[in-house]
Amino acid sequence: MALYSLTVGSYHLGLGQVWQALIAPEQVEGSVLNVVWELRLPRILLAMTAGAAMALAGLLLQSLTRNPLAAPGLVGVESGASVTMLLILVLWPSLLPLSLYPLAALIGGLSVAAFVMALSWRRGISPLRLILVGVGLTAMLSAVADLLITYGNIDRVESALMWLGGSLHRADWGHVRSMGLWLLLAGVPLLFCHRPLDLLQLGDSVAMSRGLNVSALMGGLLLCSVMLTAAAVANVGTMTFVGLIAPHLARQLCNERHGPLIPLSAMSGALLVLFGDTLGRGLFTPLQLPAGLVVAVIGAPYLMILLVRQRNR
């Protein structure tokens, strides 16, 4: 699918041209080489790494809160990053260079998430308190975002809305390296946390009886979820729906055990965003639809059907 995605876009390429550009770049003309290596390959890798990060973040929140409808935006990361970017793009567009936009979004998202976690902490993190505080703060930040969109300069708001829709049109190798680093730091360690996560699903009392420090574990895993979400939002914009639906797609392929569920969720998220971006680039060429919008339009009906089926079991 990634190879096919390299052929899609306003500058159409054949599979043969793409393959030759990848394995024998010295034999390919410069324009083709530039399209493959500088425009499309970073975009594809960023789509896959960001999708995997959002999926893992969603799986963690669904497991920690024991709520199958929990999404990465629950702890306010996406809202914090979105409002930060809106403030910069709409009110102070010359405040930072373009290269520092992801860092600003990351700081904004992490700050709001830290605030939510601090308000939710009382001798440990309660899933119920976390949900209530997160929903409340997200609603407040959404109101601020609506205010900026309604009364901001129309040209600046248009640019901000493109980012908020989950767009990969600014992807470059710097974004890929940044996203890959965060995925390594906060995503790969989760592969070794599948047994504690399985124990948590049995209840806090059972987990503690097995010698698990529930508060420390939940705090650490929640931090991983926040880091993954903040990094993804900072690099590609808001794609909450990926974190919601990708774990459900993975559950169709395996049971509820986190051993296979963690890598399958990451793969589902990566393919979901890649598919959304490929479809968004190829559907109405040369017009490009944001990947987040395409994923939401396609995934929402599927998720509703899935939930109805589970209810009728």
CATH code, 92: 1.10.3470.10
**What pLDDT, on a 0 to 100 scale, did the predictor assign at position 43?**
93
Q: Is the pLDDT of residue 100 over 80?
A: no
Residue 192 resides in a domain? yes
Q: Angle at CA 45, nearest 5°, toward 163 and 279? A: 65
Q: Name the packing angle between helices 101-120 and 214-236 (round to 10°).
A: 150
**What pLDDT, on a 0 to 100 scale, did the predictor assign at position 293?**
85
CB atoms within 10 A of CB 23: 9
pLDDT band at residue 69 under the 50/70/90 scheme? confident
Residue 310, Cα to own-chain centre: how many angstroms? 25
Residue 305 resides in a domain? yes
Residue 28 resides in a domain? no
pLDDT band at residue 124 under the 50/70/90 scheme? low
Burial of 50 (0-12, 13-18, 19+ CB in 10 A): buried
Residue 2 resides in a domain? no
When pLDDT is averaged across residues 242-257 and rounded to a whole number, the result is 87
Beta bridge partners of 284: 287
The answer for residues whose C-beta is within 8 angstroms of residue 297's C-beta and 6 or more apart is: none
Could you tell me if 84 and 107 are in contact, meaning their C-beta atoms sit under 8 angstroms apart? Answer: yes
pLDDT band at residue 305 under the 50/70/90 scheme? confident
- How far apart CA 52 and CA 64 sit, in angstroms, is 18
The answer for residues whose C-beta is within 8 angstroms of residue 138's C-beta and 6 or more apart is: 73, 74, 76, 78, 79
Q: Domain span at residue 76?
A: 43-311
What's the mean per-residue pLDDT of the chain? 84
**What pLDDT, on a 0 to 100 scale, did the predictor assign at position 262?**
94
Residue 125 φ/ψ, nearest 5 degrees: -95, 120
pLDDT in tens, 276-301: 999 988 887 777 888 888 888 887 78
Residue 34 resides in a domain? no
When pLDDT is averaged across residues 73-86 and rounded to a whole number, the result is 82
